[in-house]
Structure 1
Amino acid sequence: MIFDKLFKKRQKTEVSLVANQSNSFGAFGGDAYSSEIYRSAIDAIARNTAKLKGSHIIKDELNKTTQSNINYLLQIQPNEIMSAYDFLYKIVTHLYIYNNAFVLIDRDESGIKGFYPINATNASLLEDSRGNLYIRLFIRDGEPIIQKYSDIIHLRRHFNSSQYFGDANDAIMNTLDLAHTQNEGLNVSIKSGANIRGIMKYDLVLPEADMIKTRDRFIKDFLGVSNNGGVMITDTKSSFIPIESKPINIDDKQLLAIKTKIYDYLGISENIVTSKYNENEWGAFYESVIEPIATQMSLEFTRKIFTQREIRFKNYIMFESGRLQFASNSTKINLISQLIPYGLLSINQALEILNLPAVKDGDKRLQTLNVVDINKANKYQVGEDNERD
């Protein structure tokens, strides 16, 4: 397997670890991802976050995008088996299930060759005699590996109790268990409501074999789907006493309350999950959920990919998205009409906001004559020379 070869290639032959940090991470004990409500909410967050575009930029006044191999890895194919979308979807899903997400940076003397999400069931921080940090990762169905912590991109949620790892999702477990109980109760209620139950009473003493045959014949003749009339008959030797079974109905308000608690825990609304959001709801979701993830990833990828010297020379990783693609056409047109007169948008930037293709010579900026450089205002208005004044 690709991952096995990668870890064997990178595995240290000998690492003298003299101090084991008390901080460790264990995968979330409950199977939260099996909950329909929890999974659909995480899917909504992951599929929207996966549309972010990661770029290696030189953060000067123009935020120039470089032509490095990192851009190809972050935007097209981070490793042999994933697209950039799959890569981001997977690490965001891990982040919300385990509150910790790990990505291995595969690099050698020539530079960075790939990024690999790691589905770790347990992890712990180790330290060598020189104070260098290592991380021991227990891979699902694999051998534990030890890597330099500087080669692991580590994203965290609910970062509180541990010095290195995000806390578990214990706070939502009772709600998830209650949601599971509700689903089971509905299933039982539906099944019990669909059955006719009763007692077949015979005034005669019958052998056990005859009783079974009589019961089976009665069920076939009167309780099967072939009994369209719904009428049954008995003779003087027998009688049928029905047992009334009232299905238990779960209040819709209870179902909604459980769902709302799960959505609130994840910071998401039902309209986002079901893709029924309006412009304002999307804006709130972007600012409260997607933007914090983008900020966290930008900072963590930057500090783990580049050295301090490279960062001082303004090398950064930035994850960003065109927020305006979800705005209404009236909002887009209003924004363009307000910004173009001040020369804040080029023609192609305005076309991009409208989801239209770029045009030749579209990088030029237009500006209304009603706006003038403040240093030239007097000369423009009354013909006076500022220098002479």
Structure 2
Amino acid sequence: PDSCEIVDVYGQLWLKYETGDGQKQIIEYELCGHLRTMQNKSTLMGENNAPFKKVAALYEQDLDKSMEKLAASESPVQWVGQLNAPILDDDALKEEQDRLNRLNLKGNKTGTFLYDNRYTRMDQVSKETSIMSPDDIKQMENMAYSYWGVGEKLLQNAYTEDEWNGFYQSRIEPILIQIGEVLTKVVFSRNQIMDGNAVEMASNRLQYASIKSRIDVAFGTYDRGMATMDSSLDILNLPPLPNGEGAHRYIRGEYRQEGTPAKSERKEENDDTGNDPGSDAAKPDISARELRDKEKDRV
């Protein structure tokens, strides 16, 4: 998208783009699929990620400053002392440094640092090892999460089933719908779209659900005739049944259509007539074949 430009030629929009080998090409805009977002400033071109880049630049500046402080804290200077007498020249200063180092630092196994009354004070250099404060890091991370619409648990794969469903419905599913609409426009003609042809982006988010949730969905749809055995097995990441055995649909026997009598009601009606549905008395006196033959003879 960064190498594309939409131009207006006598009222018709064209897409001017650059190929991988650096050549310029143009194509009618109406023949392209254009998936865009962040359209507050421009409904056609949308907006880039400049607002987030400012936040990233601020974070990088703070990180560089912290690294400079850390490098300064690793200076070879470990002690700072103040003499109560003036130093005559550089050689005298170097001699005093070597003496102090030889007596207190080099080969000193006692752990005790000593100096005489020629020094008014002697302080150890404190090191700053903190790169950035935890509050600053947390604030930067929250700004990034809010901009991209994603949370820390999702990035670390530590989300729960409800957190994943919320993320899918708010971020993933809208993109899939938009991609399907764009591909529908590119693949099918206007008449084909009016006839109901469309490209739908399917994503089985049940693969991220818990085993219990997948079992509930698989059995809940299978015994109501909403899914076949193979589709229920697919939810559980299991292979289909051989020889097409899993392509059938089954409905539990206690379900019936509204307004139709239940089994117990039909049995009571049969008992009132004195006939058993399975007995010969309940069967018709004439078969269907004989009835068709008589009707042919009459005609």
Instruction: Output the TM-score relative to the length of structure 1.
Output: 0.56
Aligned to 1:153: 33
Higher mean displacement: 275-284 or 301-310: 301-310
Which of the numbers 195, 199, 202 marks the counterpart of 1:317? 199
The one-character-per-residue Cα deviations of 1:118-153 (angstroms, maximum 9, x if unpaired) are xx4343222333x43211225688244322223432
CA–CA separation in structure 2 for the residues paired with 1:121 and 1:189: 38
Bigger Rg, which one: 2
Q: Is the 8 A contact 2:80 2:125 kept in 1?
A: no
- Match of 1:126, as an amino acid? V
* Map of 1:378 onto structure 2: 261
Verify the 8 A CA contact 2:219 2:232 in the aligned structure 1: no
For the Cα contact (< 8 Å) 1:136–1:146, is it kept in 2?
A: yes
- 1:170 and 2:30 matched: no
1:132 counterpart = 2:12: yes
Secondary structure, aligned partner of 1:156:
coil
- 1:283 aligns with 165
Q: 1:173 to 1:306 in 2, by over 3 A?
A: same
Structure 1 residue 259 corresponds to structure 2 residue 259: no
Structure 1 residue 235, shift from structure 2 partner: 11
Mapped partners of 1:253, 1:378: distance in 2: 69
Query: CA, structure 1 residues 138+152, in 2 after alignment: closer, same or farther (shift >3 Å)?
Result: same
Three-state SS of the structure 2 residue aligned to 1:178 is helix
Structure 2: distance between partners of 1:259 and 1:229: 47
Return the letter of the residue paired with 2:45. Answer: F
- The answer to whether the Cα contact below 8 Å between 1:159 and 1:166 also exists between their aligned partners in 2 is yes
Within 2, Cα distance between the matches of 1:369 and 1:302? 42
Distance in 2, matches of 1:141 and 1:185, equals: 41
Once the 2 structures are TM-superposed, how far is the Cα of residue 194 of structure 1 from its aligned partner? 2.7
Correspondence 1:157-306 to 2 at 5 A: 157-197=37-77, 203-206=87-90, 244-247=125-128, 249=130, 250-306=132-188
5+ residue gaps, structure 1, are 1-119, 385-389
Letter of the aligned partner of 2:156 in structure 1?
T
Mapped partners of 1:262, 1:307: distance in 2: 40
Using structure 2 for the length normalisation, give the TM-score: 0.71
Alignment of 1:338-349 (within 5 A): 338-349=220-231
Name the CA shift for 1:177/1:343 in 2 (closer, same or farther; >3 Å).
same
Q: Residue 221 of structure 2 contacts residue 227 of structure 2 at CA under 8 Å; is this kept in 1?
A: yes
**C-alpha offsets along residues 235-286 of structure 1, whole Å, 9 cap, x if unaligned?**
9999996673442743312211210111011111100001111101110111
Tell me the secondary structure at the aligned position of residue 35 of structure 2.
strand
Give, in angstroms, the shift of residue 231 of structure 1: 7.7
CA-CA distance at 1:326 after TM superposition: 0.7
Q: CA 1:374 to 1:185, structure 2 compared with 1: closer, same or farther past 3 Å?
A: same
Aligned to 1:368, the other structure's residue is in SS state coil
CA distance in 1, matches of 2:52, 2:108: 48
Name the CA distance, whole Å, in 1 between partners of 2:32 and 2:208. Answer: 34
> What residue ranges of structure 2 are gaps of 5+ in the alignment?
270-299
Q: Which amino acid aligns with 1:182?
A: D
1:199 Cα shift? Answer: 6.2
Q: Is the 8 A contact 1:204 1:237 kept in 2?
A: no
Contact residue 15 and residue 28 of structure 2 kept, 8 A: yes
CA 1:186–1:307: 2 relative to 1, 3 Å:
same
**CA–CA separation in structure 2 for the residues paired with 1:228 and 1:364:** 85
CA distance change for structure 1 residues 139 and 223 in 2, over 3 Å: closer, same or farther? farther
Distance 1:221 1:348, change over 3 A: farther
TM-aligned CA deviation for residue 165 of structure 1: 0.9
Contact kept in structure 2, 1:271 and 1:277, CA below 8 Å = yes
The Cα shift of 1:287 comes to: 0.6
Q: How does 1:318-357 map to 2 (within 5 A)?
A: 318-357=200-239
Q: What is the rounded CA distance, in whole Å, between the counterparts of 2:143 and 2:70 in structure 1?
A: 25
Shift of 1:337: 2.9
Question: Which has the larger share of strand?
Answer: 1
Give 1:353 shift.
0.6
Secondary structure of the residue that 1:365 maps to in structure 2?
Answer: coil
Mapped to 1, the partners of 2:4 and 2:29 lie a distance apart of 11
Where 1:281 maps in the other structure, the secondary structure is helix
Contact 1:203 1:237 in 2 (8 A): no
Give secondary structure in 2 for the equivalent of 1:317. coil
Contact 1:121 1:138 in 2 (8 A): no
